A and B are shown apart, each in its own frame.
Chain A
Amino acid sequence: MYLLIVFIPLVTSLVSGLGGRFIGKLGSQVLTSLGVLMSATLSSVAFYEVGICGSPCYVEFLPWISSDMLRVYWGFQFDSLTVVMLVVVTYVSTLVHLYSIGYMSEDPHIPRFMSYLSLFTFFMLMLVTGDNLVQLFFGWEGVGVCSYLLISFWYTRIQANKAALKAMVMNRVGDFGLSLGIFASFYVFKSLDYATIFSLAPYYVDFQIPFLYWSFGSLNLIGILLFVGAVGKSAQLGLHTWLPDAMEGPTPVSALIHAATMVTAGVFLISRCSPLYEYAPKALLVVTIIGGTTAFFAATTGLVQNDLKRVIAYSTCSQLGYMIFACGLSGYSIGMFHLMNHAFFKALLFLSAGSVIHALADEQDMRKMGGMLNIVPLTYTMMLIGSMSLMGFPFLTGFYSKDVILEFSFAKYTIDSSFVFWLGVISAFFTAFYSFRLIYLTFFGEPNSIRSVVSKSHDAPVIMALPLMLLCLGSVFVGYIFRDLIIGLGTDFWGSALYVSPHNSAHIDSEFIPHMVKLMPVCLSVLGALASLYVYEKLALEIGSLYKTAIWLSVYKFLNGRWLFDSVYNYFVAEKLMSFGYHISFKTLDKGIIEFMGPSGLISLISTWSIRVSRLNTGYLYHSAFLMMLGAVIVLGVTRVCQMESDIAYVKLAFVQVICGLFYLGSVGRDSIKLI
């Protein structure tokens, strides 16, 4: 059963991808959806057995690599952490599959799309179920590849291809860090199995890895390198620029990437490696700071984006920042809980956005929307619930995890935790602001879209509405239902899956923080939402004129240009690397030194020298005669001079050579013919 969870999506993906021609459009839709549905059902059972009944399960499937000390198995490990991810991934994936049936109904490449979706799910399941770092890496790269395939699903669009390449390359930067982390952990622990690594971690606290003239604390180094991988995959500050561009794919793909799979892998990795991170305080510090700044950065950037999906993309980035810094503060369970909740309301938001975009004939610009309330009331309801859940409105799913994250970070009483606490609180305000900005611009106000489009637009059809409603239920109730199970004080749900060292734990402290602090994020969220509505209802014109002043315009440009990260990267990294690639490695090395030393250089060398040598034959008789004699002298000189011992020979030869030289000079001088 446990292996079926993982492999059903692979089988359906292969059948639909390779045999899509035979099973047809409907066949592939039904097959893949049923596949993930079965997988979801089985993962519910797994959740019950492993999570609730507390019986982790390990399956050693097949040997993979066996080379000296390195032994890697295709091994599967189902503990609490895995089953939480399993449930999230399979459920959201099922709903996305269902939704895609409606959303992609007009597309000519449905079998391919469904196949990619299922393959994506399969790789994500491989990632979360692996019991060693290599298998994690397999899934890690697999979701990267699938994200590439899905983002560039409409491969005729240049933007989609560019975005897909960017996603692939940015991810690869992170993956390089991850693979270095894996190498480092093999160097230190001589093993890649989680079980071995994590049980050995406490004994390697003082172990140093020498590198050039430095030496690094092994656990900190491994932690930071693994986190680099997480930064790439989870779009944390530094490698986040691919995520907003990944909006070029179909909307269900964005939902899958942003909600359940792919970006959550980073949080999963850190939680999975919690026994390692607990002994790596510096790595945790890095994780915390990066997570907090990402939350803040993405929240501010989301404020002024005009693309419907891009706003949600930045909110994903921001929420991932929350999860990461929760993990950085050793609140792994809270991070995972937020991940789970976020999966539901973010999938809901994306799919609702897809519904709006579908209704408006693929219009994504919020400035060209407005007044959709009466046209798509169901979608509006769904989006409102999703957004309120996102901003942590009390008694919705987001509230139960987000506020806990903030309380937890307040209760740590360290410098970095206060730093991320304040960033998180400010981000909460911004989150509410841009969520309601999105709702206002899309659903309220005057309709700004084209009349012919609006007159034909309609609410989501049943096949699209059903996933929305199910996700809506999740967005409302999941947080409440699972709160005590997952992050309740003293819950034994996690078993040995997560480890928090006692002096890092702040779970108890967070119960005793001032009520003002507990209420602050909620108040700020509500305030942000109201401010947003007020600004866009009453002050829209004043806002417009505000942007005419230089300072606000520059702020606007800064935020709308996403803190100018892309420009800086393009200018200082991409362009430099591209010009290096063209000028240095291509023109100078490949076309230059290597070709010069190699084929073309040899060709020109031989041809020029053969021309020079053949030019010796000038056609003049006396030159030929001279060369004959010169040749004779050289042959005689070479063959005889060694054998001759008498001084006469030397004298004679010297005489002959002097005469020859004179003749040579004479002939060159008189004719000024360049023999050589």
Chain B
Amino acid sequence: MVWGISVFKLSIPFIIFFIGLSGIFLNRRNIIILLMSVELMLLSINFGFILFSVYLDDIVGQIFSLLVLTVAAAESAIGLAILVIYYRVRKTISIESIRLMKG
């Protein structure tokens, strides 16, 4: 019983995480979508934290998810700021054009 529930509940953040991840991989055009995918991943992490917090009956998970929210907000703010500056310089936000370093 526990087995089935945990699989089902854990699958949701897991799937969301992978959707975010695939957003990072598969998206080739747009940095905004990239940032959105990162947000999605952070969201799924938060989801997981809260899930475990409830499941394990431990408050630390929820506190941690609050902190993650804060960090995510700050991070996306900085990310968007960088994006804006980048757009000013390059007149594009395509990821494929960000290729200044090669091995």
Contacts and interface: CB of A to CB of B under 8 A. Distances in A.
Asked if A and B are interacting partners, one says yes
A607 interface: no
Q: Considering the complex of A and B, which 7 residue pairs feature the smallest CB-CB distances, nearest first? A: A617-B103, A614-B103, A619-B99, A619-B102, A625-B24, A622-B25, A663-B25
Interface of A is mostly: helix
A487 B21 CA distance: 110
A625 B24 CA distance: 7
Contact of B25 (A613, A616, A619, A626): A626
Nearest to B18: A659
Interface in B54-103: 95-96, 98-103
Contact of A617 (B21, B27, B101): B101
Interface of B: 3, 7, 18, 21-22, 24-28, 34, 95-96, 98-103
B7 A622 contact: no
Interface of A: 613-622, 625-626, 629, 648, 659, 663, 666-667
A636 B100 CA distance: 31
Interface of B is mostly: helix
Contact of B103 (A618, A659, A667): A618
Contacts of B102: 617-619
A615 B101 CA distance: 11
A622 B20 CA distance: 12
A134 B79 CA distance: 90
A616 B22 CA distance: 20
Nearest to B101: A619
A583 to B, nearest CB: 41
Contacts of B3: 648
Nearest to A628: B24
Given A618-B102, A620-B96, A622-B95, A648 B24 contact: no
B68 to A, nearest CB: 19
A190 B99 CA distance: 81
Contacts of B21: 629
A619 B96 CA distance: 9
B39 to A, nearest CB: 15
A616 B101 CA distance: 12
Nearest to A615: B103
A663 B22 contact: yes
Contacts of B95: 620-622
Q: Which of A614, A620, A626, A629 has the most CB of B within 10 A?
A: A620
Given A622-B28, A626-B25, A629-B21, 7 more contacts: A617-B103, A618-B102, A619-B103, A622-B24, A622-B27, A625-B25, A666-B25
